[in-house]
């Protein structure tokens, strides 16, 4: 998880992007970042990160400006219904970690 956060930090800093990464459960040890938002879902449970992502999209004043990186079809449908755009997870991986 730390490597993912580090790659996202580098990409966000280079792009000037506002990034939030949501994990299913709190990380131990916690990972903090001054560049991106690292957030656990409110409770550790199956799909809790997906639920938190949808909640964040729905709570945003302009969800059309949000891109959610996922390859999960159900999450894609939920965030699109809430007004956000979907960015394929594989495409994001290739951008933040080109090999």
Distance of CA 42 to the CA centre of its chain: 15
Digit-coded pLDDT (tens) for 47-99: 999 999 999 999 999 999 999 999 999 999 999 999 999 999 999 999 998 87
What tokens appear for 33 in the block? 């970042």
Give the residue carrying structure tokens 């979907």.
86
Give the separation between CA 50 and CA 76, rounded to whole angstroms. 10
Give the separation between CA 81 and CA 77, rounded to whole angstroms. 6
pTM summary value = 0.90
Contact assessment for residue 24 and residue 38, using Cβ atoms and an 8 Å cutoff: no
């Amino acid at each position: 998880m730390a490597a993912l956060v580090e790659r996202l930090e580098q990409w966000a800093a280079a792009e000037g992007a506002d990034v939030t990464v949501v994990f299913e459960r709190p990380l131990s040890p916690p990972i903090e970042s001054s560049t991106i938002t690292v957030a656990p879902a409110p409770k550790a449970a199956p799909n809790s990160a997906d639920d938190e992502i949808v909640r964040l999209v729905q709570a945003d004043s302009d969800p059309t400006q949000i891109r959610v990186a996922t390859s999960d079809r159900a999450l894609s449908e939920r965030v699109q219904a809430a007004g956000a755009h979907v960015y394929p997870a594989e495409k994001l991986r290739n951008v933040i970690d080109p090999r």
